[in-house]
Structure 1
Amino acid sequence: MTASLVTLGAVGPGTTRTLVCVPHAGGSVVAFRGWARVAAAAGLAVRAVHWEDAAGANGRRTSIESRADTLAAELRDLPEPWVLLGHSLGALIAAETARWIEEQVSGSAPERVVLCAAAPPGYPRGFPPGVLTASDTGMAQYVRRLGGTPEEILSDPEFGPQLLTQLRNDLDLIERYEPAFPRPLSSPVSVYGGASDGSVPIEVLDGWRAFAPQARVRVFPGNHFFLHDSPADVCREVAADCARTSQDRLGR
């Protein structure tokens, strides 16, 4: 499996940092294709992560840890400053990537890690226990309840089954995830949640402080896909958090 960064939109003269985005379970770079313009207004250039052979078609079963290792290597030479943002499953991969960079990889490090719509390691998974073995019909019903997936894609005879297969594979990563954080992350961390997210209740977000004691926690209006409903608000908050970090380092 490999990871590559797909640049979305043009990099304008007002760009101050790169925003590396790791998609949710069942998602892809397409999830962030509408971010380029609003991110540019906040001084961010968007590069989304694409997983090649994410389903393990080569016969090797992937994991959150292996994806993080792969992504960390891809980010090693990324020009600074850059921010790592993950959504749901992507947030777990982002946290593991930051840990891997801090412990194993020399070179570029994230200015900030932004974890969206994800319960911290050790908390119960946010999907029903039977969803991994559900039929396509049952899985589709779960996706509809969760929101965030256009019905025309879910009902498409070609793309619908592909999406459900990818989602099963991705949820299996969460099911098998056994995190090992020997020490808290040293990277600055932001934790964003949706006020009406039924999968990740806002009361669990503070649990990320066990892994990042100085984490900034922010709740946005919306459900599990709040960041795609209001990307401009999220991008502005990312830029503001980075500015606060810079001020803190200057002792202001």
Structure 2
Amino acid sequence: MQLFNKKLFVIPKPKSHPAIRLFCFPFAGGGINTYTSWLDRLYDNVELVLVQPPGRGSRLQEAPHASMDSLVYELMQYAEFITDVPYLLFGHSLGSRVAYELCYQLKANNMRLPECLIASGSKAPHILTDRRCIHDLPREAFVNELKQLNGTPQEVLDNDDLMDLLLPLLRSDFKIADSYKATAVRMPFPIVVFHGEEDFEIKPEHLMGWQDLSDFDSPIINFPGEHFFINDSKDAVISQVLLVLNELLSPMRGYSKA
């Protein structure tokens, strides 16, 4: 097995012989703390891998990626590790699109693909919307946009020194979100879509677009909450992830072809 970067792939509880790995990708400006509490809910044969791109956590001093190509290029350096055993990808918001682009690159290189992708809180990556770009707004306007998204704690937004530290990462992540448009390719694995019922910025057609990217049915599962329902409805989200894992770990998977 290829060695992996322990800062890029944080494994809180390594398994000697996992039946499946669950890779979790952060939202724009987010880190691994979103998923660390999942560990105690997972099955013993599931290895949790938290993806930590530069600019956050233990990689805070590293320059963040400013393009999807750069970010996925770093991930692809460890493609043998990612594909070593059966795996499931989970991404929220921008993380969903990063996960899809990783699949696209793995497929192009004829490498093992995931058993499933859970795309949470995101439009389909090949669909353009009229949402305006925010990454290059002046500081005050950019911070106001962050406030509207309700994903950054108020105490962080009110701390100028902390915001000075985080703004390069936030601007870089949102630049990726603003500029990335995927090449639509149908994948030979299911894509399960998670959505916040009050996340009105993501339209039904944006969600249904994920069906264009899979040979299987792409169910849309709704949760109470806005865009960051992943935090507000954490228990329900984890329960649904466990249901997906149940299907993947059982001899007969319960997904049907589209």
Alignment of 1:122-201 (within 5 A): 122-125=126-129, 127-129=131-133, 131-181=134-184, 183-201=185-203
> Structure 1 227/45 Cα, relative in aligned 2: closer, same or farther at 3 Å?
farther
5+ residue gaps, structure 1, are none
Contact 2:66 2:172 in 1 (8 A): no
| Correspondence for 1:243 | 246
Equivalent of residue 86 in structure 2, options 73, 81, 84 = 81
TM score, norm. by length of structure 1 = 0.81
Contact 1:195 1:221 in 2 (8 A): yes
Equivalent of residue 104 in structure 2, options 91, 99, 111 = 99
- Report the Cα distance in structure 2 between the residues aligned to 1:30 and 1:168, rounded to whole angstroms: 20
Q: Partner letter of residue 158 of structure 1?
A: D
Q: Partner letter of residue 198 of structure 1?
A: F
Q: Partner letter of residue 75 of structure 2?
A: L
Contact 2:64 2:169 in 1 (8 A): no
Q: How many residues align?
A: 243
5+ residue gaps, structure 2, are none
1:59 positional shift? 8.9
* Runs of 4 or more consecutive aligned structure 1 residues displaced over 6 Å after TM superposition: 57-61
Equivalent of residue 225 in structure 2, options 222, 227, 231 = 222
| Correspondence for 1:205 | 207
Q: Partner letter of residue 227 of structure 1?
A: I
> Structure 1 7/127 Cα, relative in aligned 2: closer, same or farther at 3 Å?
farther
| Correspondence for 1:116 | 120
1:202 positional shift? 4.0
Deviations 1:142-185 (A, max 9, x none): 1121112211222223221232332221111122223223x311
TM score, norm. by length of structure 2 = 0.79
Equivalent of residue 26 in structure 2, options 23, 46, 56 = 23
| Correspondence for 1:64 | 68
Q: Percent identity?
A: 23
Contact 1:202 1:219 in 2 (8 A): no
Deviations 1:3-49 (A, max 9, x none): 711123x3589x753221111111122332333223x2696443211
Across the aligned residues of Structure 1 and Structure 2, the Cα RMSD in angstroms comes to 3.2
Find out whether 1:47 has 2:49 as its counterpart.
yes
Q: Partner letter of residue 201 of structure 2?
A: S
- Report the Cα distance in structure 1 between the residues aligned to 2:225 and 2:231, rounded to whole angstroms: 10
Look up the SS of the partner of 2:81 in the other structure: coil
Contact 2:54 2:63 in 1 (8 A): no
Q: Partner letter of residue 106 of structure 2?
A: I
> Structure 1 185/124 Cα, relative in aligned 2: closer, same or farther at 3 Å?
same
Q: Partner letter of residue 123 of structure 2?
A: A
